[in-house]
């Protein structure tokens, strides 16, 4: 029997060195026990024979990445599972691709649970201010108490360091505490009695949460899945949840009965054009004229219920053009494309694909917000083919002025406008060939398709695919 003693629960390097030596000495997995403790020395008792000097040995990258995540799991069997996988990889080099294999599946599940725990730390950890806010000498200092499901504090703290680099903070947990004051350090864990008391921001959190809480979207089961109760006690807003949920049904009914909101007079006044620079039907000479002339558009009826026409945005000579469907609620109020939830997801995907949004021209196939009132909300309605056709004149005008090299249609409505025919996004996704005016056309999904996907796994997979598409379109330039 061989006993390996790792320096800590997350001692990946120690595990790797021991596993390597054991594997090279052909020590079978049942002959190894894995322990964590401080009396270190990699091997307790018998040591495996040293490897022959020229033995080459490397585990596939997919395995190493998986192992780095799995090691952070709380299950004590993880070290053994990883060694078993490493052992098997010699005879089964393609093992990591066999998702149905029990060991591979168990390891992947552990990695997923670790990732979820890290995500929950980012989402549910709440800092409380502990310095004296009225003291001008005091350095802003925050403390949070958190009970992570796995050993993720050392890895998860980077997220906060990036966001709070200029402040001081500590994250206290039962196993380890992380401290940032310009440099990062760790100390042993503490118990919950050290958790910081409520601070003055607490009430602000609750007011904010109550104001964004949408009773029509309550699904208590889903909510408990995403925000497990174990995290509630550290979250000021969680105290409101039972009451808000119990009142949700009544509030939803009231919302349905209420008359729709109309954009305020101030928003409408601001959106109204001072003067229209070109006669209807005359082609605007530049993008500023497009934006002004759009406000007088009567090519279809959508202008009647919209606050304003939303023109494209971006450099007048951008080599890359993105075309969405139509402005949403927020775009309608602000007069700018892709700034609401779909726009934020779009920005995130662009950033991951390395595509600078500010270098692209971003616009829509339809320039006015088509919607139906539902209670207090204005619900997106899909533009029909006649509306898309009527609005195509504006897209052509923008295309003629900007002269992009590549045009990316986001979703089927954009596809209809850009390619002049119905497209099947799933089947035709990718490069579409030359479009009118000489640009290269590219078809992909609309970001709100990703927002509507029901589960996290397909969301993540589709997001990655979308990022790949954006990168591919960018490379075409
Ligand atoms: N969806 C779109 O297609 N365009 C926008 O501008 C916003 C959401």
Q: Give the Å distance between the CA of 207 and the centre of ligand 1.
A: 29
pLDDT band at 329 (very low <50, low <70, confident <90, very high): very high
Average pLDDT over residues 328-341: 95
DSSP-derived letter for residue 325 is: S
- pLDDT at residue 265 is higher than 70: no
Ligand 1 atom showing the smallest separation from residue 446 Cα: 3
Contact 256, 374 (CB under 8 A): yes
Task: For ligand 1, say whether the CB of 342 is within 6 Å of any of its atoms.
Answer: yes
Helix (H) or strand (E) holding 461: helix 456-476
pLDDT band at 164 (very low <50, low <70, confident <90, very high): confident
Domain with 184, as residue range(s), is 125-194
Confidence (pLDDT) at 272: 62
364 Cβ closer than 6 Å to some ligand 1 atom: yes
Cβ-in-10-Å burial (0-12, 13-18, 19+) of 438 comes to exposed
- Cβ of residue 411 lying under 6 Å from some atom of ligand 1: no
Query: Tokens 């009132």 identify what position?
Result: 373
From residue 186, how far is each of 69, 120, 431 by CA, in Å? 20, 20, 50
Residues 286 and 153 reside in one and the same domain: no
Give 443's DSSP letter.
Answer: E
Question: Is 145 in contact with 166 (CB distance < 8 Å)?
Answer: no
Q: What is the pLDDT of residue 128?
A: 87
Q: What is the mean pLDDT of the chain?
A: 87
Compare 139 and 309 and report the one with higher pLDDT. 309
Residue 134, CA distances (Å) to 138, 164, 253 in order = 8, 20, 45
Average pLDDT over residues 161-183: 93
Structurally, the chain folds into a number of domains equal to: 4
pLDDT tens digits for 36-90?
986 656 777 777 777 766 666 688 999 999 999 999 999 999 999 999 999 999 8
What is the mean predicted confidence (pLDDT) over 392-401?
97
323 and 419 co-located in one domain:
yes
87 lines ligand 1 (CB under 6 A): no
Residues 130, 116 share a domain: no
- pLDDT for position 123: 81
> For residue 448, which atom of ligand 1 is closest to its CA?
1
Higher pLDDT, 260 or 77: 77
* 279 and 408, same domain (yes or no): yes
Same domain, 154 and 221: no
Where do we find the tokens 């192992």? 67
pLDDT tier at 222 (50, 70, 90 boundaries)? Answer: low
Final residue of a structural domain among 177, 194, 211: 194
274 pLDDT above the threshold of 60: no
For residue 53, the model assigns a pLDDT of 67
Residues 221 and 351 in one domain: no
Distance 124 CA to ligand 1 centre (A): 30
* Same domain for 79 and 22: yes
**One domain for residues 418 and 327:** yes
Residue 295: per-residue pLDDT:
93
Matching residue, tokens 């395995």: 63
How confident is the model at residue 196, as a pLDDT? 82
Q: Is 335 in the pocket of ligand 1 (CB under 6 A)?
A: no
Task: Decide which of 194, 210, 227 is a domain's last residue.
Answer: 194
Contact yes or no for 153/176 (Cβ under 8 A): yes
C-alpha 424, offset from chain centre: 26
The verdict on 461 and 319 lying in the same domain is yes
Q: Which CATH number belongs to the domain containing residue 436 in this structure?
A: 3.40.470.10
Which of 176, 194, 212 is the C-terminal boundary of a domain? 194
- 22 and 96 housed in the same domain: yes
Our answer on whether the CB atom of 413 is closer than 6 Å to any ligand 1 atom is: no
Same domain, 189 and 333: no
Phi, psi of 172 (to 5 degrees): -100, 135
For residue 361, pLDDT beyond 90: yes
Same domain, 130 and 115: no
């Amino acid at each position: 029997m061989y006993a390996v003693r790792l320096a800590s629960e997350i001692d990946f390097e120690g595990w790797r060195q021991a596993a390597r030596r054991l594997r090279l000495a052909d020590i079978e997995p049942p002959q190894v026990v894995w322990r964590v403790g401080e009396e270190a020395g990699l091997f307790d008792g018998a040591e495996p024979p040293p490897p022959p000097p020229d033995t080459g040995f490397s585990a596939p990258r997919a395995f190493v990445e998986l192992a780095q995540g799995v090691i952070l799991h709380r299950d004590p069997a993880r070290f053994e599972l990883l060694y078993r996988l490493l052992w098997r990889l010699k005879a089964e080099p393609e093992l990591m691709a066999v998702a149905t294999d029990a060991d591979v599946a168990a390891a992947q599940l552990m990695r997923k649970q670790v990732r979820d725990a890290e995500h929950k730390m980012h989402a549910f950890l709440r800092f409380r201010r502990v310095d004296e806010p009225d003291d001008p000498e005091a350095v802003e200092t925050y403390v949070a108490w958190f009970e992570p499901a796995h050993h993720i504090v050392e890895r998860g703290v980077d997220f906060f360091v990036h966001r709070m680099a200029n402040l001081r903070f500590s994250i206290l947990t039962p196993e380890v505490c992380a401290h940032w004051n310009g440099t990062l350090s760790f100390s042993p864990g503490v118990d919950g009695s050290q958790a910081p008391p409520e601070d003055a921001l607490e009430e602000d959190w609750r007011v904010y949460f109550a104001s964004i809480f949408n009773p029509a979207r309550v699904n208590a089961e889903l909510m408990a899945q995403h925000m497990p109760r174990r995290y509630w006690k550290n979250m000021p807003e969680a105290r409101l949840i039972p009451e808000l949920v119990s009142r949700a049904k009544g509030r939803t009914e009231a919302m349905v009965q209420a008359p729709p909101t109309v954009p305020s007079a101030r928003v409408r006044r601001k959106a109204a054009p001072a003067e229209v620079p070109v006669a209807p039907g005359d082609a605007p000479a530049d993008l500023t004229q497009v934006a002004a002339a759009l406000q007088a558009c009567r090519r279809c009826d959508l202008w009647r219920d919209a606050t304003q026409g939303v023109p494209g945005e971006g450099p007048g000579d951008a080599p890359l053009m993105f075309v969405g469907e139509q402005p949403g609620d927020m775009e309608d109020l602000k007069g700018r494309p892709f700034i609401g939830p779909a726009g934020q997801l779009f920005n995130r995907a662009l950033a991951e694909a390395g595509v600078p949004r500010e270098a692209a021209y971003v616009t829509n196939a339809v320039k006015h917000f088509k919607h139906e009132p539902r209670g207090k909300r204005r619900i997106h309605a899909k533009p029909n083919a006649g509306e898309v056709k009527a609005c195509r004149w504006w897209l052509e005008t923008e295309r003629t002025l900007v002269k992009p090299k590549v045009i990316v249609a986001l979703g089927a409505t954009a596809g209809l406008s850009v390619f002049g025919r119905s497209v099947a996004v799933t089947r035709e996704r990718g490069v579409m060939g030359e479009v009118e005016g000489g640009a290269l056309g590219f078809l992909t999904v609309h970001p709100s398709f990703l927002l509507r996907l029901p589960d996290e796994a397909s969301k993540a997979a589709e997001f990655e695919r979308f990022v790949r598409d954006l990168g591919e379109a960018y490379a075409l330039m």
